Amino acid sequence: MRQATFTSRLAISIGTAAVLLALLLAVVSAPGEALGYAGKKAQASASLTIAVRASRQAALESTLDISSAELTKALKQSKVESAEKVVLVPDVEVKVQLEQEGNPVHYRMEETGNLWREDSHARLLLPSGSSDMLLRLAEGLRKHHYGGMTSWDSVKQTLPNKSIFAVTDLESGLSFRVQRRAGSDHADVQPLTKADTATMKQIYGGSWSWKRKAVLVQSEQGWIAASMNGMPHGGDGIPENGFSGHFCIHFLGSSTHKSEFPDLAHQLMVHKAGGELQALFDAASPASLAKLFVVVLNHQDEHMLRQLAKEMPEAEVTKWVELMATLVSIKEPLRKKSEGGGLHSDSSEQAALSAQVTLPITIVTKKVPERNTAYSFTFQRSAKDSPWRLIDVVN
């Protein structure tokens, strides 16, 4: 069972990217669990640690330690330049320790594989072979850290009614056990014991909530990306667990009992648990991106907000981050079943390079009571086959 701050570590020292990648992809243990490597450790004057976390605040972390002569050579050959605007791999950080320096230097990883210092906006330009290697290693570590994107049709066979399994919160790293009791459109589950109920309530900050959380579900086939809510409701089949009712766990493509379409907020968190947020955003239509923006605000997730709004000016993003901190709730009106639930662009948008979406919402803040308003979203893309990017939101 994982604790609140569980770190997965893979210490390696080896010479080629191909062998490193093969080693990493061979890892089959759960994210957050200790990993080891029996290879011979090389003597080197530099070491590097790649870390993957779902957000900057997440306690659950998987790390990969690298120490090699090749790494030392690559770092010595690196050049430094100033870089104000960068495109980052949002969940990957890198720590570099040089033997002659007392403190390690912390970097973010760019999509090119280069390393960027957030404090000084300095870019470390690595030799192309080294940057490619780091990208492959980071992607292998991400596959280890996140759950598999397994469809609900498969999961309901793998985890049948009365099965018992572990659920791990992707942010806190806390784990608890549940039993699936029912559910045809998603899994209706209950904490197994009072201790499991206490851990679940701790994940939700001590108060039950309908808000979705990205979780990893343990199965015999590995860890599965999922989303849970934290509100007891409905029937109660384990009366001694201190949990009055059941709660819901959703998987890829599952739906609520009230709709034939997947719940957008749950699917957002499933993609987060699978490390596939960017893929979700890249495939979404402007209308769905607008809805996702409101869902992200309601869940007060700054990391996802910045990823969704990465093409917006920083000053504008900061305003939305500040608003998010004051929210009690924000939502759009419930959709009718006939309105559909797709994420992909409709035929009218296939050739367009810009789009406008107006979305009615209901908002409640800590200082202002419930009110109805609307947000206007502007989207652009560089070509008809390119993903849509949010560039402006106006209240």
To the nearest whole percent, how much of the chain has pLDDT over 70?
83
Mean pLDDT, residues 199-217 taken together:
97
Q: Mean pLDDT of all residues in the chain?
A: 86
Mean pLDDT, residues 173-186 taken together:
95
- If pLDDT is split at 50, 70 and 90, which confidence band does 334 have? low
pLDDT tens for 360-386 read 999 999 999 999 999 999 999 999 999
pLDDT tens for 266-283 read 999 999 999 999 999 999
C-alpha atoms less than 13 angstroms from C-alpha of 222 in its C-beta half-sphere: 15
- If pLDDT is split at 50, 70 and 90, which confidence band does 348 have? low
Using the Cα atoms of residue 71, residue 76, residue 81 and residue 84 in order, give the sign of their dihedral: positive
Amino acid identity for residue 250 in this structure: H
Strand-by-strand arrangement of the 371-380 sheet = 327-331, 354-365, 371-380, 389-394
- Burial label for 51, CB within 10 Å (0-12, 13-18, 19+), is buried
Asked if residue 105 lies in contact with residue 96, where contact means CB atoms within 8 angstroms, the answer is yes
Show the CA angle centred on residue 246, arms to residues 242 and 249, nearest 5°: 125
Which range of 32-36, 104-108, 339-343 scores highest in mean pLDDT? It is 104-108
DSSP reduced 3-state for 278: helix
pLDDT at 206: 96
Model pTM above 0.85: yes
- Residue 49 per-residue DSSP state: E
Q: Which of 30-44, 284-298, 313-327 has the lowest mean pLDDT?
A: 30-44
Which carries the bigger pLDDT value, residue 259 or residue 206? 206
The secondary structure of 96-159 as a DSSP string is: EEETTSSS-EEEEEETTS-EEETTTTEEEE--HHHHHHHHHHHHHHHHHHSPB--BHHHHHHHS
The secondary structure of 334-387 as a DSSP string is: PPPGGG----S--GGGSS-SEEEEEEEEEEEESSS--EEEEEEEEEE-SSTTSP
DSSP reduced 3-state for 70: helix
**Tokens (6 digits) for 309:** 């709004």
Reference 63, options 151, 140, 175; nearest CA is 140
pLDDT at 75: 86
**Tokens (6 digits) for 217:** 């579900």
- If pLDDT is split at 50, 70 and 90, which confidence band does 101 have? low
Mean pLDDT, residues 242-250 taken together:
95
- Paired with 365 in beta bridges are 327
- If pLDDT is split at 50, 70 and 90, which confidence band does 41 have? very low
Give residue for tokens 């080197």: 44
Using the Cα atoms of residue 142, residue 144, residue 146 and residue 150 in order, give the sign of their dihedral: positive
Show the CA angle centred on residue 263, arms to residues 261 and 264, nearest 5°: 115
pLDDT at 17: 42
**Tokens (6 digits) for 297:** 């605000």
The secondary structure of 293-338 as a DSSP string is: HHHHHHTT-HHHHHHHTTTS-HHHHHHHHHHHTTEEEEEPPPPPGG
